[in-house]
Amino acid sequence: MDSDSEVEGILQRSRNQDRPPSSYGSMKSDEEEDEEEKEEINQAPSSSFQPEQCHFMDTRIQLIRSESPETIHTELTRPLKPHQEGAFVIERPAEQLEQAEERDESSPILHDSPEPPPVLEFVDPLMQEPDDEQQPGRLHPQFELAYIFKSMQSSLMLLQQPEFYLFKRHLCGRHPSTFKMADLGESDPLDLVDKMLERFGKLNGLHVAIRMLETMKKPELARDLETKCRRAVIQYELKCGLTRRHNCIYEGVPRAGQQLYLKYVYVQPQISTQGYGGVCPQHSVRHISPEPPQVAPSDSMVEGNNIFKIRAPDGTRVRCVLTTGVPGIGNSVAVQKFLLDWSEDRANFDLQFVFPFPFRELQSLRDRNNVEKVDISMLELLRTYHSETRSMDFLEAPDCKVLFVMDGIDIYKGSLDFKNTPDVTDINTPISLDSLLVNLIRGSLLPRALLWLTGRRAATTQIPPKYIHRVYEIQGYSDLQKDEYLTKRYSDKQMAAKIVQHTKKSPIIYTLCHIPFCCWMVAMVYERGFRYDDNYGKNPPKITSFFIHYMIIQNNRKLEKYYGQNPNSQKWTEMDQKFMLALGRLALKLLEKNRVNFSEDDFREYNLTVIDVAWWSGLCTELPRENPKDKRVFCFTHLSLLEFMAAQYVWLTFRLEGRNVLNPSSISKLFKEDTLVNMYRRAVERYLSAPVGQYDLFLRFLCGLSMKHNDSLLRGLLFPHNHPPLKGLDEVARLLTKKKDSSGTERESNLGECLRELEESDD
C-alpha cells in the first residue's frame, strides 16, 4: 500500500478528534514497532506506557511524543498497535526496505521518510453551505497544514547533510528558548518541520524557515519556498502588521506610555440587526415624551465577529455590511477588535486577507492627490497602505476571499456620486479616489471581495441602500456590561468597585454610560477623584460638570477629525460659539414644545446644516427611515443632552449679552445682581408651572453652570478668559431655598439637587 495514502487515512481519522490536527511526524517500520512492543511487554507487563506531554502555548497545540531518541511520533502519526481495534498498519514497499539496507544508517537525514498527503482539491468557499455555528467556507490549499508541511519538507530535503546541520545550528542560535541542539541532533527534515510547525505555529514556522534559508545564503531555496506558499507568506506579514497596529488602544488624547492592551479592557457592545437609531429611551426624571425612542429586541443581537455569517434578508450571502450608531458608541473600537481577533487567529479563519482602509487616511490621500492632480488604481491603493500586497496578482481570482474594512465614512469629504460615476472593472486602471470608492462599494471593482463600512448614520445615507446587504446598529452597553467595563480596566478591584458604586449614585450619568465613550469618561474622572482626594465619593456625583466635559470633548473630536487640528493645540473659534448657541436655541425650542425629534426645516430656521449637526457635532444623530422618500428625522444622542444644551444656551446668552431669553422683554446689557437673580426667577417659575419632569434637569443644569468651577471650564472656549465673574449667586441660592421650602414633595427633591449643583464642591 502507498505510504502517502496511509498517512492521508490517518490524517482524515485524526481530523475528527476534538483538538485540531497539529503536525506530522517521522514513522518507524512495522518490524521496529513490533520489537519495541515486545520489549515493553517484557519489561512492564502490567502497566501501560505514559507518553511525555509537551505544551506550547504560543500555538495552542498539544502533542504527545514518545521518548525514543531515534525518531519521534506525534499523536497524529503514531501508528496504532496491530492488536488494537481499528489499527492502521503502514507497510513499506520492498524497494524502500532494500534501499534502506544499502544506505548509511548513521546519516541523520532520512530522505525516505513518508511524504505528507497530497494537496486536497480546492473548492470555492463561497459555494459551500456553512453550518450555523461555524465559520463559513474553508481554507485555501496554500493555508492548509499539509501543504505548508510538504513545501517546507521538500525545501529542506534539498540541503546537503552539512547544510542541514548548519540550518539547525542557525535555528537554535536564533531561537534558543524554543530549540536546543541536543533536541535536534538526530532530527531528519520531516521531524524538524514537524517540530517547527508545532512550536512556532503554521505561518510563523513557514516564515522562520524562509528566514533561515536566507541566512544560510540559500536565496534560491528561500525564494522557491516563498513562491510555493505566497498567500500564506503575505497573510503572515499582514497579520503581524495588524497585530502591531491594533494590539493597543489610546484613550482620549494619545500620549506616549498611556496605551492599554485592547484585549484586557475591551467589552463588546451590543450589536443589533434591527436599528431604530440607537438612542437610549431611559430617563430618570422626564417621564412625558410623545416620541419615545424605540429599542432593538434582545433576540436581534449578534457577535461582532459574526457580522458576515448572517445572510441578507433575501437569503443571499452578504457582500457589503454597514455598522452605525450614535457618536461615541464604539464603532471604531469594534473594528479594531475585529482586526485584532483575525490577526491573532481567534475568528474568521476563512478570510484570507483583511485590509483596513480608514476614511481618515483616504481623506489625506484624496487631499494629496487633488493637489498633485494624480489618479490611483485599486492595486496602487493597496500597495500604498499595505506593502505586503506587492505580489498579489491573484487578488481577482475566484478563490481569493478578501475583506476591506473602511471605518468612519463621515470623515471623508469627497463626493460619492453613484449616479454619474462610470463603471471601472480593472484594478490596474488609474481613476480618481472618489470614483474608485464608488466602484468598490458598487461592486464593479473586485465583485467577490467583502466590504465593511462604518460611520454615523447621517453620513451613510449617501450610499444607495441597494448596495448595502446588511445593516447593523451598535446599541452600546447593557447595565452588566457597564459594570464589566468599569471593573475590567482596573487591576485594583477595590478602586473599580468604588467607581461603579459612585457612578450608580447618579442614575442620569449611569444611564448615559450605555455609550462606551461616556463609560471611559466616568472611569477617567472618578479614578482621578478617588486617587487624590480621601473624602471623594461621599456625595452623589454632580451632573453639570460631566455634561460640560462631554460637550467639550465631542467638539474637540470634531476639530481633530474633520478640521485636522492637533489634539494638543486645539482652538475654538467664533464659529464654534455660534454653533453651540444655535444648537442650544433649537434645544430650548424642543424643550418648550415637549418635542424630542426635529427635521431639516428646524435646521434652516437656525442656520444649521445636517453636516454640522448630525454628521460632525457628536451631539446629535439621524434616525432611520422606513421609506427613503420620508423626511429625515434627527434627535440628540440622549434626552438629557437636549436639556443640557437648552440650559447652556440660556446661561451663555446671559453671560455674553446680559440678555434673559426666558424673558423676551429683557433688554438689560449690564451685569447687575438683580439681573442674574431675575434670570433664575424666570427659570424657577417656568419649572414650577410645567408638568413634573419637563424642566427638572434644565433647572439643575442652569444652576450648575453658574458654579465657579464649571464657569472656568468654559472660559477661553465659549467666552473670553477675562470675562467678568458672575455676581449675585448668594441671592440665587436664597431664592432656591425659599422655593424649596414652599414647594410640594414632588419638587422638593429636585430643588435640593439644584442647590447642590450651585455649591462649590468637588463631588
CA dist 232 → 120, 430, 458, 534, 542 (Å): 16, 28, 40, 56, 55
* Cα 353 from chain centroid (whole Å): 17
- What's the mean pLDDT in 752-757? 93
Say whether pLDDT at 129 is over 80.
no
- Mean of the pLDDT values across residues 124-133? 37
pLDDT value of position 288: 55
In this structure, how many other beta carbons lie within 10 angstroms of the beta carbon of residue 482? Answer: 24
Quote the CA–CA distance of 90 and 713 in Å, as a whole number: 80
CATH number corresponding to 271-283+296-476: 3.40.50
pLDDT band at 49 (very low <50, low <70, confident <90, very high): very low
Q: What's the rounded Cα separation, in Å, for the pair 540 and 505? A: 5
Distance (Å, whole) CA 471 – CA 465: 10
The model's confidence at residue 289, banded by pLDDT at 50, 70 and 90, is: low
Question: Looking at residue 110, what is its pLDDT?
Answer: 38
Supply the pLDDT for residue 263.
87
Kindly tell me the sign of the dihedral angle through the C-alpha atoms of 288, 297, 324, 477.
Answer: positive
pLDDT exceeds cutoff 80 at 606: yes
Q: Is the pLDDT score of 497 beyond 60? A: yes
Mean pLDDT of 416-420: 93
User: Looking at 104-118, 193-207, 267-281, 560-574, which range is the least confident one?
Assistant: 104-118
If you ran DSSP here, which 8-state letter would residue 423 be given?
P
| The residue to which cell 432611520 is assigned | 624
Strands 248-249 and 270-272: unpaired
Helix, strand, or coil (residue 632)? coil
CATH topology agreement for domains 3-102+109-117+140-228 and 271-283+296-476: no
Q: What percent of the chain has pLDDT over 70?
A: 79
Spatial neighbors of 742 by CB under 8 A, at least 6 apart, are: none
* pLDDT average, residue stretch 493-522: 94
- Under 8 Å between Cβ of 352 and 343: no
Crossing angle of helices 145-156 and 189-200, rounded to 10°: 130
pLDDT at residue number 364:
94
Whole-number average pLDDT of the chain: 81
**Structural Rg of the chain based on CA atoms:** 33
Q: Are 319 and 451 in contact (CB under 8 A)?
A: yes
In the predicted model, is pLDDT for residue 398 greater than 70?
A: yes
The whole model's pTM is what? 0.81
Question: Looking at residue 740, what DSSP letter applies?
Answer: H
State CA 538 to chain mean position distance: 36
Summarised one tens digit per residue, pLDDT across range 156-197 is 999 999 999 999 999 999 999 999 888 888 889 999 999 999
In the prediction, which pLDDT does 555 show? 94
Contact in structure between 284 and 508 (CB atoms under 8 Å)? yes
Q: Are strands 320-324 and 450-454 parallel, antiparallel or unpaired?
A: parallel
3-state secondary structure 248-274: EECCCCCCCCCCEEHHHHCCCCEEECC
Of all helices (H) and strands (E), which one includes residue 474?
strand 470-476
Q: Please, what is the Cα angle at 721 between 719 and 725, to 5 degrees?
A: 85
Pairing of strands 248-249, 260-261: antiparallel
pLDDT of residue 81: 40
Q: What is the pLDDT of residue 311?
A: 87
Question: What are the phi and psi torsion angles at 62 (to 5°)?
Answer: -115, 125
Q: Tens digit of pLDDT for each residue in 729-746?
A: 899 999 999 999 888 788
How many beta carbons lie within 10 A of that of residue 136, not counting itself?
20
Return the pLDDT at 665: 65
pLDDT at 45: 37
Q: Specify the higher pLDDT residue, 126 or 572.
A: 572
pLDDT at 120 over 70: no
CA distance 306 to 31: 51
Cα 487 to chain centroid, rounded: 20
pLDDT higher than threshold 60 for residue 43: no
The tens digit of pLDDT for each residue in 323-344 reads 999 999 999 999 999 999 999 9
pLDDT of residue 130: 42
Q: Provide mean pLDDT across the span 290-308.
A: 84
Mean pLDDT of 217-235: 94
In CATH, what is the architecture of 3-102+109-117+140-228?
Orthogonal Bundle (1.10)
Residue with cell 505510504: 3
User: Residue 163 has what pLDDT?
Assistant: 93
Mean pLDDT of 397-416: 93
* Residue 458 reports pLDDT greater than 50: yes
Looking at residue 536, what DSSP letter applies?
T
pLDDT at position 251 is 75
Question: DSSP letters along 303-355, please?
Answer: -GGGTTTSPPTTSSPPSEEEEE-STTSSHHHHHHHHHHHHHTTSS-TT-SEEE
pLDDT bin (cut points 50, 70, 90) of residue 567 is confident
Q: Which residue has the cell 502591531?
A: 244
Measure CA 49 to chain center. 48
If DSSP codes are grouped into helix, strand and coil, which group holds residue 568? coil
Range from 99-103, 248-252, 382-386 that averages highest in pLDDT? 382-386
- Would you say residue 361 has pLDDT above 90? yes
The stretch 448-477 carries a mean pLDDT of 94
Instruction: Note the pLDDT tens digit of each residue in 234-287.
Output: 999 999 999 999 999 887 666 666 788 998 899 999 999 988 888 888 887 776
User: What are the sequence ranges of the domains in the chain?
Assistant: 3-102+109-117+140-228, 271-283+296-476, 479-532, 547-758
**Residue 671 — very low, low, confident or very high, per pLDDT cuts 50/70/90?**
very low
